[in-house]
Amino acid sequence: MKRIGIIGGGIIGLCSAYHLRKSGYSVTIIDQDDMTSGCSIGNAGMIVPSHFIPLAAPGMIAKGIRWMFDSTSPFYVRPRLSKDLLDWGLRFYRNATAKHVERSKPALSALSLFSKSIYHELSRTLPFDFGYQERGLLMLYHDAALEKEELETVHLAKNLGIEAHVLTLSDIQKLEPDVKVNARGGVYYPGDAHLIPGVLVPQLIVHLQGMGVEFLTHSQVKEFRTEHGSIRAVTTSQGEFTADEWVVATGAWSGHLLSGLGMRLPMQAGKGYSFTLSDVPKNVRVPTIFLEARVAVTPMVSSLRFGGTMEIAGVDHTINMNRVKGIVGSIRKYYPEMNVSMPSTDHVWHGLRPCSPDGMPYIGRTRRAKNLVIATGHSMMGLSLGPATGHVVNALIQGTPPAVDLGLFNPDRFDRK
């Protein structure tokens, strides 16, 4: 039986293990932590085929520069002397074009729709309930310029076969009878879904253990041992481990890890924050994004999660409460009767999203090692794209055609010898 080593135990690694184990492979997941604190746990839990525009898009540079001067804004790049950051920023600038968006959106849409279809199937076949619901997604706005942008996105969505409806405030309020909403208008994507990541991830780990997947936690990969163009073993903090095929799904750490193979994989960690209100008496019904604030709002049974910001500050686990203040300050602007106090630091979750400079994931084989598949760089879409990415990883290792075209996700696209 072929042995597969997966480095990284976030949602991408877990979904890869699920599909590979179902195909009969022996699978071991190696993770540097205990798999309870990564991006896959505290995120907004949104499954969003409506998000088919990459982060590198026209207007993002100007918005980013403007937001950088506001400590509570949705986006921040911490100035620092870093060749990697400068290289990433220049590549982001070159990719933030209409041509890039036009080329990228069909690929992102196909991967996202495929992933949602797998989630739908998993919600019926897995032996546990992870809160999967198809209530759609609301995009709320106050600003006329953002309204114009969102209406253009609606047109693009419909061309991709994604259902979208432009709503008045009265229409929005009908979808949210329990919470007073304040907005100029909004767009509703009925095909989006959501789940409870804090239930899915730990329950999926238990399920994988029952399937025979092995887990090596608190095991940091130190180096690769290669022979004849293939990885024969990895040296970890708990000793050497061998496998026939390898998957790297280490999120924001992937660029640093793969540099050990001489590979250039531009990556920056985009820190995001969230906090969750418990036992909300009059809860939001439809997952929502506040467009001006870039804040995601997700009902999770009787709880309500708020998440947002993109802080490019390196692999840094400090919590900047000014960013959280920006999230809290936006709530009354959209839900005027909802009084939410600043959470204490110990009630704020943070995660490091893996951001490529063109806003596209890295999925595929690499010329750097014949028996390596890379699956990382999903930015804010890791949870949403996890099942499809895992399915593709399995196909690549089996040597069968993947269900989606991987051309634009080529992990070697920035790696020039």
pLDDT above 90 (res 178): yes
Length of the chain: 417
Mean pLDDT of all residues in the chain? 93
The string of pLDDT tens digits covering residues 68-96 is 666 677 777 777 788 888 899 899 999 99
Confidence (pLDDT) at 68? 66
First to last CA, the chain: 35
Confidence (pLDDT) at 207? 98
Confidence (pLDDT) at 19? 98
Confidence (pLDDT) at 87? 92
How far apart CA 45 and CA 34 sit, in angstroms, is: 20
Confidence (pLDDT) at 118? 98
The string of pLDDT tens digits covering residues 32-67 is 988 776 667 889 999 999 999 998 888 777 676 666
Mean of the pLDDT values across residues 6-25? 97
> What is 52-96+131-193+267-355's CATH number?
3.30.9.10
Mean of the pLDDT values across residues 174-179? 97
pLDDT classification of 164: cutoffs 50, 70, 90: very high
Nearest Cα neighbor of 355 from 221, 220, 255, 261 is 255
The string of pLDDT tens digits covering residues 190-219 is 999 999 999 999 999 999 999 999 999 999
Mean of the pLDDT values across residues 117-123? 98
Give the CATH H-level superfamily of domain 3-40+200-266+359-409: FAD/NAD(P)-binding domain (3.50.50.60)
pLDDT above 60 (res 417): no
- Pair of tokens at residue 285: 């019904």
Helix (H, G, I), strand (E, B) or coil at 100: helix
CB 238 within 8 A of CB 216: yes
| Nearest-5° Cα angle at 88, 250 to 112 | 55
Provide, rounded to the nearest whole percent, the portion of the chain with pLDDT above 70: 97
Return all residues near 199 (Cβ < 8 A) that are at least 6 apart.
Answer: 128, 129, 130, 131
Mean of the pLDDT values across residues 239-259? 96
Query: Hey, where are the domains in the chain?
Result: 3-40+200-266+359-409, 52-96+131-193+267-355
Nearest Cα neighbor of 389 from 349, 352, 354 is 354
- Pair of tokens at residue 170: 């009265």
CB 234 within 8 A of CB 30: yes
How far apart CA 322 and CA 369 sit, in angstroms, is: 43
CA distance readout (Å), 229 to 236, 362, 364, 371: 20, 20, 16, 8
The string of pLDDT tens digits covering residues 371-395 is 999 999 999 999 999 999 999 999 9
The pTM of the full predicted model, rounded to 2 decimals, is: 0.95
How far apart CA 412 and CA 6 sit, in angstroms, is: 19
